[in-house]
Structure 1
Amino acid sequence: MLLTNAAPAWARQAQDANGATQSESAPNAAANAQTGGENMELVVTGSRLGSGFTAPTPVTVIGEAQIQDQAIASVAELAYEIPQLRINQNVGKSSEPVGQSVADLRALGGARTLLLLDGRRLAATSPFGGIDTNIFPVSLISGVEVVTGGASAAYGSDAVAGVVNFSILKKFEGVKIDASYGLSDYADHYRPVVSAAAGHSFLDGRLNLTVAGDFYRNTGQTRVDSRPWGRGDPVLFSNPNYTATNGQTRNYIAYNALYSRMTFGGVTVVPATSPLYGIQFGTNGNPTPFTYGNPANTIFMLGGSGVSLIGEGNLLSPITRYSGFGRVNFEVSDSLTAWAEVLWSHVEVRSDLPPNYDNGTLTIQRDNAYLPSSIRATMLANNIGSFAFGRVNLEDGMSQNNSDARALRYAAGLEGRLGGGWEWDLHIQRSENTFRQEARNNRIQSRWLQGVDSVISPVTGLPACRINANASTADDNPACVPINVFGPGSISPAALAWYRGTSFYDARMNQDSIGANVAGSPFQTWAGDVKLAVGGEYRHEQIDSVSDPISIANPATGVGGWRSINQQPFSGKLTVWEGYLEAAVPLAKDTAFAKNLDVNGAIRYTDYSSSGGVTTWKVGINYAPIADVRFRGTISRDIRAANINELFSGRNQVINSVTDPRNNVTTPTLSFSGGNSALKPEKADTKAVGVVFQPSFIPGLNASIDYYSIKINDAITAIPPQTIVNNCFGPANISSFCSLITLNSVNQIASIQATLINAQTIEAAGLDMELSYRRPVEWFGSTGTIGTRLLVNYMDKLAVTASGVTTILLGDIAADPGGQPRWKANFDLTYAGGPLRLGAYVRYIGGGKFRTTFVDDVDLPADQNDVKGRAYVDLSAAYKLNEHIELYGKVDNLLNNAPPVIPNAIFVPTVSNSQMYDKVGRYYVAGVRLKF
């Protein structure tokens, strides 16, 4: 076995001289794999047993050449190349780290995909859980290996859906620089990237020093109406005219949606019978008629004289990344190597969100200091003491949800060889990550309400806050500034300074770990060497976080003082001890009934300080009746214990648009989420079976197909607020869901409790298919290689069951979280010959339903509930001018295909409410690579 810097041996696919990836199913491919001469040889078998053994677990590989050919500049972009991965990047959701991109295999959630860097775990990059792949410097990545299927026994907790391992550059000679610039077809989305690496060996090659750094900037695009498909103010419109018998649907996608209870200068929100109905406030607060659209619900109306900010919705968040890496490698002797490395990353993300608003929820008293006299006269004449009022505060500026994440990881280790072919490695690692989230232009609710409730002071004759002008002195606050809400631009700078501010949340995530592995062959059977690997690891993880004082929730209400976000601080620790044993036993070789037959098994015991000990296991078999065909299969028990955030996080509040099935009214509703220290580890039973075909009569052809089935019991999940409401007030009327809903005095939904629980089950099943073919060709007198590769993922099942209610996520395109189309595929066609490399790539993302919970022609028109898939064509080219200079370019989404318009119903809807489809449009990249 060839160990790689204290990392377990990883199954990788062989590469030819041009860096093209071959199928991992080749029995001897791993033994002959090379990484292009710059890095240490990396052997991959899908297990910890090393070379000479091919695991029965499928492995998909993205090689360094493929990363370069497609001009991939961030790890988040790699998710588009692997159909089994769900695109999972937050483009502005305030309840999660904006811009964060996590690896999510099988759409089972990022927490169920184990992410490794050179075979070693990483610490969380945010206190909300998960590892943001943006921290990885792409210039240093020499390959990505994806092990699909349960792998907890070999690799540890979290590998329920599989493992994604990034192999990083370790030993380099010379200097290389890669600089590129990307530009959208609309000239509004820029991506400058510069990366460099330098290395040199000393002491006759025994000592090597390698350093590298990356700069990456994605300028993002924060206006959805910058794209033709994002214009026209589309929204998922909750139909107020729906009845069970009139043939209309509960919802439909509508255009030209305007706010029905808000304007930029304010509007009255009163019954149609009131003399104050249909009044908005224009320049200098002058009352003018407000024409209602028809129909109108509690957020939007179609037509009328309203306003909208839908065009301001985010497409992509601006991201800036700086990263650095350094490594020292020293060969102490022929059988002992010492190494040390450091990885540093700084990721800044910015995102615009809607300005502060009140959707008809402000109360204006008759004696308000700024109320126009004509309105006050009408109120006096009709004995009206107050009225409801709605307004969008453009004076506040767009809210911002920004994050700053820093990662620092030190590691050192030893690796060596013992007699008899045994090898060992030892590593120690320390991670120190920080995360800061800021919500700028946020609003302090108590100050806002105090300022809006203004009167004329009997002492000064000037506007004053009521709390300072009334007879009582108990509630006085001399700093309070009265606020004029009547008319656009009416709020003064002094008032803004009084109620507007920045909420923040700071967290520190530390991880200490030490691990050791030993592998070799203790004896032989009649069919070959028995392989054995044994090892253990200790980890201690800790998160400590703080919030600004205003965010901290009032114990009586559980609500923080800002209008939005209000992250709650928490601290927690988790200690893990684990040990594993893996073995492979050959049973037959070159016999009449088998070219090869072996079994593979692994067992791991893990002890968590939070939940005690658990045992995981895996059993697999490889059977090749002839050299051209190999059958493989595995069964395993996998586990995932709750992480620190899931166990200890405080009660956080989020505002969701929720539709009440009792009256089909959609309103912004407060939802609470938070950790649960009573969470048990979830357990998964995974089955996989497949066949690999490598016909000797067609050299270069490799094909495989694998079926997988995953069933997770006691799955850790938070039930979405809309699902809770549907299961309570819908036909099922399940009391366990009703207990999570709080109603107000008029029987309306006031809040929803969506705390993490151990749900009943999550199930996923489907097929993975791979077909590749390579052959040499003569083209214009030059010898080259043409390669093709097809990766297909077909999902047959994806569902979550809680309290006896099953929610189908398969084909649920707009689901949040979850959702995955039934079909996804990638097809690559490449040519490499002499100084020229060319590539054509097709990505297909299937369609499905807007929401699988919607009944066609009841909840949504059938034609709107059907979402069509999208195919994207990318082209690339690279040409070496000489041995030192290579020019390259790429066009993404050549045909400029637009994403499906599937909006949600929030205040500023996400017009294409799916992360899977391209929203940028045609995109050009040009760059140069220098090597000395």
Structure 2
Amino acid sequence: MKQFKRSKVSMLITSACLIGGSLGLQASAEEANDGAVEEVERISITGSRIQRVALTAKTPVIELDGTEFAMSGNLNVEQKLAELPLTVPSFGPSSNNPGDGTARVDLRGLGDERTLVLVNGRRWVPATQTGVVDLNTIPASLIEGVDIITGGAGAVYGSDALAGVVNFRLKDDFEGAEISALYDITEEGDGEKFNTDLTIGGNFADDKGNATVYIGYAKRESIFQGDRDFTSVTLTEGENGLVPGGSSGIPGTRIFAGPTLPNGDTLGRFGPNGEGLPYTSADAFNYAPDNYLQLPQERLTLNSFAHYYVNDDTRLYSELSFIRNEVPSQLAPTPAFVNNLVVNPDSPFFGADVQAAMKALVPELDDEGEPTGNMISQLDANGNFTFATIGRRMVENGPRQVIDTRNAMRLLVGVDGFIGDWAYNAYYSRSELDRSNLLNNDVSESRFRQAILVTDDGTACQDPSGGCAPINIFGEGNISQAAIDFVNVGASNVTNIKQEIFHFDIAGELPFTVPSADMPVGFVIGYESRFDDSSFRPDEFLASGDVLGFNAGEPTVGNYSVDEIFTEIDIPLVTDAAFADDITLWFAGRVSDYSNIGNASSFATTINWTVNEYVSFRAGYQESVRAPNISELFQGAANGFPSATDPCSVDGFVEGQTDRALCEAHGVAASQVGVFEQANAQIEGSFGGNPDLKEETSETVTLGLVITPTENFDVTIDYFDITIDDAIDVLGGGVNNILDVCYNQLKDPNSEFCKAIVRRPDGNVDLVTALNANIAELGTKGYDINFNWTTELGFGIGNNGSVLNINSKNTILDEYFQTASVGFTDTVYCEGKFGNTCLVPRPEFQSNNRFTWTSGDLSLSALVRYMSEVDEDTGTNTIVPVSKAEWYVDLSASYHFSDNVQATFGIKNVLDTEPTPLGDAQQQANTFPELYDVIGPRYFMSAVYTF
């Protein structure tokens, strides 16, 4: 590093201690003789615009060292973050459905869009139109450390930081060369992971500059749900326990509300020769085996960092990144659910009994084509018959495949240094991401209908246009390759995301002090301008909705800009007094002008009271905002299939609570209300943007106690209370809540909830429209209790002693609540619960404990994690009322063979812990696979060679 004059070092040290210096610099000075120059080391920022450590930070901070990733063998950084008690697992390697190929972090379970991800203290490449960062783009082997601010940071860092900030500090000043590699495989011998990295760096221009280049390649192989006993069969809730379940869209074709067969059975499905058979729940299609349990992945990462000191007061720096990430996902073959399907009753594809059943519903016609009796004709003018609803699993078409490829680029150039005694920093960054989304093996609904309506001899389509080939869906395995070729469609969709940022700030000391303190007042002020632009353009099949197996979608195109002025001031109130080594008051403010929502502001204040070297207290209050992102504002209508329970069905109806008359008014036959079985555990929803959204606002209160009785032992206890108003979410919080609010609570057919529901002719819910809205309130509160203890032991390898370190991170969740929607005030409490309303499990107590013993060149480590039990959110009258508490143990060993070679070996999930099997309240794979391990023990080995 360049050497700075003593006066500027002293200024920077003071500024770092007070504010968090806008440069992201921390001075580390070694006292010398008067007039001597001193070394200054620049490191990344956290919490304010300076370095913060967990024991001295004004707001709660959790720190992870880069060695934590090495000792855990985590190729994907989101898995390490998901292990922490203060996070709720979001998308990751097991997120097949739902999932989009990204990996995310969600602090406090308030939504990944409310967690701001930074790299070296600056915004990183957005991966989706929600602005979320894909953690796949951050290589674990390049991480020097991670700092997690858990009490909100909107006033310091801007929008998206309502829940907090995750800042990755990357190695950006490196001399020499380093090669590392990791190999990981499961106990079953599958799901291999491999990555190799090369880092090269060196100084130039008489050590005035440094350039570092990093190249990384990673590959992850797939595991299917069918490869594990726990996930090989889709479970559902029976009368006396969990039973094999699945979808009513079956390979032999399901007929809903079918006619009566000559033998008295109701036509429910077809045999191999088109004969009619009844349908029972045992006939449901097990869609689990075709789904990924671990998604495959291939990733290439290129990074370069450079800086050059023009003189003692000026440094130029740059960052350049390119990341290519490909993550396929796979679903079971298309479930073709089609209403009002027109068929030829004389088709040879039908058995004689089915033809008779259809014709029994058709009266004889007179010479003029009119019914001879009182029965209304079931035939159209062409003599064709209509089935109200059918469900056909298109196994002959193969599994549905999604290939997500993201190419991301980021360029940043900046200058920092000093103007007099004031430190400044200015940079410009441009990020761009291109996503291609390929969908394979879907079915065109229009071609499907055309191919089914055949001539009397079944050899041709009644409408032969477009090369139509007759399709026989009436019996498993009856579809010809020619028919598959006709109905099979794919889609190719493109997303482009751009972000530009200009930032400038300046920090220093104001020329006055508070009389009771001998430290100057620190001050920072800055300006930031950000422009976000993105577009999603589906191809003609997806945009038209002419698809049966994938979610139809419309274009999403939009942009917005924001100009912001921010400031921080740090005021020492008392220093070197009795019972007060230091009392400091800190303020931060940010005023923003958005092109779409207008003006918004954030504010934060903390007071830190250091009683003595052993005890200190901190208290903070923040008001922050989060502006709606492009997806929330402009998303075109897109369909999804979340788990939901129809209150009008036998499983959802509650006598005395569910409005029976409203069910009937919506199209459920009076005799079927509370009687009929819901066709599928997943109900289709239509989701989309709302340009009239306003910003979310939050209030955060933090209280902290720091105890450091010795240099080797410290304890931090922090209380957090975060409340978000006008939180942006889908109407009602989701499809399941809309149904519940409509039929069980508001019971008003004119309400926005009830108007959002459309039913099929057979009474099942066809579609629920759930567009974005500013829902009422969302919040959480609890405690983080962390301690770190290091002690020397009198034994070790050879003549060496040894050191034992115990690091424990614990979170007690006191409350997590949410409300359904605007105009509806019922509050749902989700601490210690999971299910269709609360969604992912939220344990009331989680603990993460790392035990590391080091002697000489050997380190042995154990990670012990605990999650308390969670209850199903509808109460105890369910098949699986409780998901049990879980313990996980990971073991690893690391050895330095020389100064240049280090190897690490480890086993994850040594106890082979399996989660509680869940039924209809599961997310996927009979559980929540990003929270609970369903893959089993894994073995990994890594090595690092430096030269």
TM over 0.5: yes
For residues 255 and 843 of structure 1, do their structure 2 counterparts lie closer, same or farther at Cα, with a shift above 3 Å needed?
same
In 1, the alpha carbon distance for the partners of 2:129 and 2:570 equals 39
Kindly state the Cα deviation for residue 905 of structure 1 after the two structures are TM-superposed. 7.2
1:683 matches 2:706? no
2:842 pairs, out of 803, 811, 820, with: 820
- Structure-to-structure mapping, 1:114-129, within 5 angstroms: 114-129=116-131
Flag structure 1 segments of 5+ consecutive residues without an equivalent.
Answer: 15-23, 240-251, 294-300, 469-476, 554-558
* 1:201 partner amino acid: N
Kindly state the Cα deviation for residue 227 of structure 1 after the two structures are TM-superposed. 2.1
In 2, the alpha carbon distance for the partners of 1:342 and 1:501 equals 39
- What's the secondary structure of 1:693's corresponding residue? strand
For residues 767 and 30 of structure 1, do their structure 2 counterparts lie closer, same or farther at Cα, with a shift above 3 Å needed?
farther
In 1, the alpha carbon distance for the partners of 2:623 and 2:132 equals 22
Q: 2:721 aligns to what? A: 709
For residues 263 and 762 of structure 1, do their structure 2 counterparts lie closer, same or farther at Cα, with a shift above 3 Å needed?
closer
Kindly state the Cα deviation for residue 177 of structure 1 after the two structures are TM-superposed. 0.9
1:75 pairs, out of 74, 77, 81, with: 77
For residues 188 and 344 of structure 1, do their structure 2 counterparts lie closer, same or farther at Cα, with a shift above 3 Å needed?
same
- What's the secondary structure of 1:722's corresponding residue? helix
- Structure-to-structure mapping, 1:169-248, within 5 angstroms: 169-223=171-225, 225-237=226-238
TM-score (norm 1): 0.87
What's the CA shift string for 1:867-915, capped at 9, x where partnerless? Answer: 1121100011111111221121111101010122123379x96311353
In 1, the alpha carbon distance for the partners of 2:49 and 2:41 equals 17
1:256 pairs, out of 240, 244, 250, with: 244
TM-score (norm 2): 0.85
Kindly state the Cα deviation for residue 337 of structure 1 after the two structures are TM-superposed. 1.1
What is the Cα-based RMSD across aligned positions, in Å?
3.1
Q: 1:326 aligns to what? A: 304
2:350 pairs, out of 371, 379, 388, with: 371
- Deviation larger for 921-930 or 661-670: 661-670
- Contact 1:178–1:928 (8 Å) recurs in 2: yes
Q: 1:350 aligns to what? A: 328
1:277 pairs, out of 262, 266, 282, with: 266
1:506 matches 2:494? yes
- Contact 1:319–1:350 (8 Å) recurs in 2: yes
In 2, the alpha carbon distance for the partners of 1:160 and 1:881 equals 45
In 1, the alpha carbon distance for the partners of 2:560 and 2:437 equals 23
- Contact 2:863–2:890 (8 Å) recurs in 1: yes
- Contact 2:46–2:167 (8 Å) recurs in 1: no
Kindly state the Cα deviation for residue 432 of structure 1 after the two structures are TM-superposed. 1.0
Q: 1:887 aligns to what? A: 903
1:466 pairs, out of 452, 462, 466, with: 462
1:855 matches 2:875? yes
2:920 pairs, out of 899, 904, 928, with: 904
Q: 1:484 aligns to what? A: 472
1:729 pairs, out of 725, 743, 747, with: 743
* 1:73 partner amino acid: L
For residues 359 and 45 of structure 1, do their structure 2 counterparts lie closer, same or farther at Cα, with a shift above 3 Å needed?
closer
What's the CA shift string for 1:177-209, capped at 9, x where partnerless? Answer: 111110001112110111110112122211222
- Contact 2:274–2:350 (8 Å) recurs in 1: no
In 2, the alpha carbon distance for the partners of 1:81 and 1:382 equals 60
- Contact 1:39–1:170 (8 Å) recurs in 2: no
- What's the secondary structure of 1:433's corresponding residue? strand
- Contact 1:538–1:576 (8 Å) recurs in 2: yes
- Contact 2:336–2:549 (8 Å) recurs in 1: no
For residues 10 and 59 of structure 1, do their structure 2 counterparts lie closer, same or farther at Cα, with a shift above 3 Å needed?
farther
Q: 2:160 aligns to what? A: 158
What's the CA shift string for 1:813-854, capped at 9, x where partnerless? Answer: 34575552211110011123321111111112222123x1x1
Kindly state the Cα deviation for residue 289 of structure 1 after the two structures are TM-superposed. 5.2
2:623 pairs, out of 633, 637, 646, with: 637
Q: 1:401 aligns to what? A: 402
Q: 2:661 aligns to what? A: none
* 2:540 partner amino acid: P
- What's the secondary structure of 1:47's corresponding residue? coil
In 2, the alpha carbon distance for the partners of 1:909 and 1:603 equals 42
Kindly state the Cα deviation for residue 563 of structure 1 after the two structures are TM-superposed. 3.7
Q: 1:266 aligns to what? A: 253
- Contact 1:617–1:637 (8 Å) recurs in 2: yes
- Contact 1:713–1:762 (8 Å) recurs in 2: yes
- What's the secondary structure of 2:293's corresponding residue? coil
What's the CA shift string for 1:28-84, capped at 9, x where partnerless? Answer: x987699xxx99642656212558994420111111122222222221122134221
- Contact 2:261–2:356 (8 Å) recurs in 1: no
Flag structure 2 segments of 5+ consecutive residues without an equivalent.
Answer: 5-11, 31-38, 363-377, 379-384, 651-676
What's the CA shift string for 1:571-615, capped at 9, x where partnerless? Answer: 111101111110111111121131211111111101111101111
Q: 2:830 aligns to what? A: 809
In 2, the alpha carbon distance for the partners of 1:306 and 1:85 equals 36
In 2, the alpha carbon distance for the partners of 1:43 and 1:128 equals 26
* 1:464 partner amino acid: A
- Structure-to-structure mapping, 1:229-628, within 5 angstroms: 229-237=230-238, 253-257=241-245, 261-266=248-253, 268-270=255-257, 273-275=260-262, 277=266, 281-283=270-272, 285=273, 287=275, 292-293=279-280, 301=281, 303=282, 307-358=285-336, 364-373=343-352, 375-377=354-356, 379-380=358-359, 383=362, 385=385, 387=387, 389-420=390-421, 422-456=422-456, 463-468=459-464, 477-523=465-511, 524-525=513-514, 526-553=517-544, 559-628=545-614
- What's the secondary structure of 1:145's corresponding residue? strand
In 2, the alpha carbon distance for the partners of 1:128 and 1:148 equals 21
In 2, the alpha carbon distance for the partners of 1:379 and 1:522 equals 89
Kindly state the Cα deviation for residue 95 of structure 1 after the two structures are TM-superposed. 8.0
For residues 818 and 599 of structure 1, do their structure 2 counterparts lie closer, same or farther at Cα, with a shift above 3 Å needed?
farther
Q: 1:797 aligns to what? A: 815
In 2, the alpha carbon distance for the partners of 1:680 and 1:94 equals 32
For residues 637 and 885 of structure 1, do their structure 2 counterparts lie closer, same or farther at Cα, with a shift above 3 Å needed?
same
2:773 pairs, out of 749, 757, 764, with: 757
- What's the secondary structure of 2:450's corresponding residue? helix
In 2, the alpha carbon distance for the partners of 1:608 and 1:818 equals 33
- Contact 1:611–1:680 (8 Å) recurs in 2: yes
For residues 569 and 736 of structure 1, do their structure 2 counterparts lie closer, same or farther at Cα, with a shift above 3 Å needed?
closer
In 1, the alpha carbon distance for the partners of 2:720 and 2:865 equals 22
* 1:639 partner amino acid: V
- Deviation larger for 355-364 or 312-321: 355-364
Kindly state the Cα deviation for residue 497 of structure 1 after the two structures are TM-superposed. 1.5
Q: Once the two structures are aligned, what percentage of the paired residues are identical? A: 26
- Deviation larger for 736-745 or 922-931: 736-745
Kindly state the Cα deviation for residue 127 of structure 1 after the two structures are TM-superposed. 2.7
In 2, the alpha carbon distance for the partners of 1:81 and 1:147 equals 16
For residues 462 and 821 of structure 1, do their structure 2 counterparts lie closer, same or farther at Cα, with a shift above 3 Å needed?
closer
* 1:644 partner amino acid: I
- Contact 2:233–2:286 (8 Å) recurs in 1: no
For residues 32 and 855 of structure 1, do their structure 2 counterparts lie closer, same or farther at Cα, with a shift above 3 Å needed?
same
1:835 matches 2:831? no
- Contact 1:366–1:379 (8 Å) recurs in 2: yes
Q: How many residues align?
A: 858
For residues 915 and 927 of structure 1, do their structure 2 counterparts lie closer, same or farther at Cα, with a shift above 3 Å needed?
closer
In 1, the alpha carbon distance for the partners of 2:227 and 2:580 equals 62
- Deviation larger for 225-234 or 784-793: 225-234
1:787 matches 2:787? no
What's the CA shift string for 1:610-641, capped at 9, x where partnerless? Answer: 10111111110011222211010000101101
For residues 856 and 31 of structure 1, do their structure 2 counterparts lie closer, same or farther at Cα, with a shift above 3 Å needed?
farther
In 2, the alpha carbon distance for the partners of 1:33 and 1:54 equals 19
In 2, the alpha carbon distance for the partners of 1:835 and 1:919 equals 34
2:890 pairs, out of 865, 871, 874, with: 874
For residues 580 and 263 of structure 1, do their structure 2 counterparts lie closer, same or farther at Cα, with a shift above 3 Å needed?
closer
- What's the secondary structure of 1:595's corresponding residue? strand
